[in-house]
Amino acid sequence: MKNKLTLKAVLAGSLLAVLAGPSGAMAAELNLYTTREPGLIQPLLDAFTKATDIKVNTIFLKDGLTERVTSEGDKSPADVLMTVDAGNLIDLVEKGLTQGVDSAVLTETIPASLRDANGNWFALSLRARAVYADKNVDLKEITYEQLADPEWKGEICIRAGQHPYNIALIGSYIAHHGEEAAEKWLEGLKANLARKAGGGDRDVARDILGGLCDIGVANSYYIGLMGSGKGGPEQEEWAKAIKMVLPTFEGGGTQVNITGAAVARHAPNKAEAVKLLEYLVSDDAQKIYAEANFEYPVNAKATVAPLIAQYGVLKPDTIDLAKGVSFRKKASELAEKVGFDN
């Protein structure tokens, strides 16, 4: 009996040794729920684990993140909630599924307009709602307001107005100019379309190459993905046919959306969750963001990928992201009212 007890003790000790880190402490880990494609963030998570010895268990949820966390309640294992859209991130906050974080690293690194005042969410990377243009078109600068000018009649390509990327843009327009002006702008933009609104942002580049339109609206990082060859030889040709211009609002900056994250309300590993967020805005991690997916860093000291940097310095709009998000419902209603996608 004594030998059996000794054997059990040895086995138990071996198991603890496996679970423990080099110092003998239990190995740390955290659980990440994300709507971002795993392949795009795995390099960041691997680097984080290497730097901290904290394991990241990733659960990818293309849809239904809010519903999943809500259904799990206070038993949810989620520590960090990551989304690829400011609206979805702020939805989590408004539904009480996040908690505030007090971190000097985060508040000193991320501009105030790109984080929640109470520490409930933080932007980790940026993508601009940009204008693609035929390389032969004499266009060096443009405002979002000018996209509705008659000079562009029949020359603009864009994806569906009801797509979240464009709803966010319309919401920001409302924040700047009000609903009446936004409706008039949408009518002018629709009148300038070269084809029915639809497809994807990369299709804008394809259609410019095909001569269907001279300019179009698309996210900034796609030109990097196409131009780098990551989208294949065909898309590389699309990228060669265009240039990118960073539009601004009159009296404002360029409309951006974010990849962002929050600490879950019932996070069982809060300390580790905060460490992950702090790591993701570090110089090293922001460099990985820029190189892996051609996004703009939120850390001003980080380097922008050359394929993107060649088009100038991004000056994000100064209107708080949350303000633009608050107009999403009205933006969708206006797009429907003017029949933008018809």
Q: Is 311 marked as a binding-site residue?
A: no
Please count the structural domains in the chain: 2
Residues 287 and 331 occupy one common structural domain: no
Residues 246 and 265 occupy one common structural domain: no
Residues 109 and 56 occupy one common structural domain: yes
pLDDT over 90 (residue 23): no
Residues 36 and 160 occupy one common structural domain: no
Rounded to 5°, the CA angle 307-136-233 comes to: 45
pLDDT tens-digit map of 223-236 = 999 999 988 999 99
Residue 280, in any domain of the structure:
yes
Residue 37, in any domain of the structure:
yes
Residue 154, in any domain of the structure:
yes
DSSP per-residue codes, 273-291: HHHHHHHHTSHHHHHHHHH
Residues 191 and 105 occupy one common structural domain: no
Residue 7, in any domain of the structure:
no
Q: Is 221 marked as a binding-site residue?
A: yes
Q: 164: closest CA among 37, 328, 342?
A: 328
Residue 207, in any domain of the structure:
yes
Residues 87 and 97 occupy one common structural domain: yes
CB atoms within 10 A of CB 96: 10
Task: Check which CATH number belongs to the domain holding 47 and give it.
Answer: 3.40.190.10
Under the banding of pLDDT at 50, 70 and 90, the label for residue 7 is very low
Residues 182 and 321 occupy one common structural domain: yes
DSSP 3-state of 30: strand
Task: Give the model's pLDDT for residue 19.
Answer: 40
Q: Is 215:134 a contact under the CB 8 Å cutoff?
A: yes
Q: 321: closest CA among 228, 275, 259, 230?
A: 259
Helix (H) or strand (E) holding 70: helix 65-72
pLDDT over 60 (residue 20): no
Residues 198 and 326 occupy one common structural domain: yes
Strand partners, 216: 132, 157
The structure tokens listed for 184 are 């008039």
Residues 239 and 140 occupy one common structural domain: yes
DSSP 3-state of 312: coil
How far does Cα 154 stand from its chain's mean position?
30
Residues 92 and 135 occupy one common structural domain: no
Task: Give the model's pLDDT for residue 203.
Answer: 97
Residue 14, in any domain of the structure:
no
Q: Is 38:60 a contact under the CB 8 Å cutoff?
A: yes
Contact partners, residue 41, CB within 8 Å, separation at least 6: 34, 58, 82
What is the reported pTM?
Answer: 0.85
pLDDT tens-digit map of 168-222 = 999 999 999 999 999 999 999 999 999 999 999 999 999 999 999 999 999 999 9
DSSP code at position 218 = E
Residues 148 and 219 occupy one common structural domain: yes
Residues 117 and 166 occupy one common structural domain: no
pLDDT over 80 (residue 22): no
What domain range includes position 267?
Answer: 28-126+257-303
DSSP 3-state of 309: helix
Residue 3, in any domain of the structure:
no
Residue 23, in any domain of the structure:
no
For residues 330 and 341, give the distance between their C-alpha atoms in angstroms, rounded to a whole number. Answer: 16
Q: Which residue has 């796609």 as its token pair?
A: 222
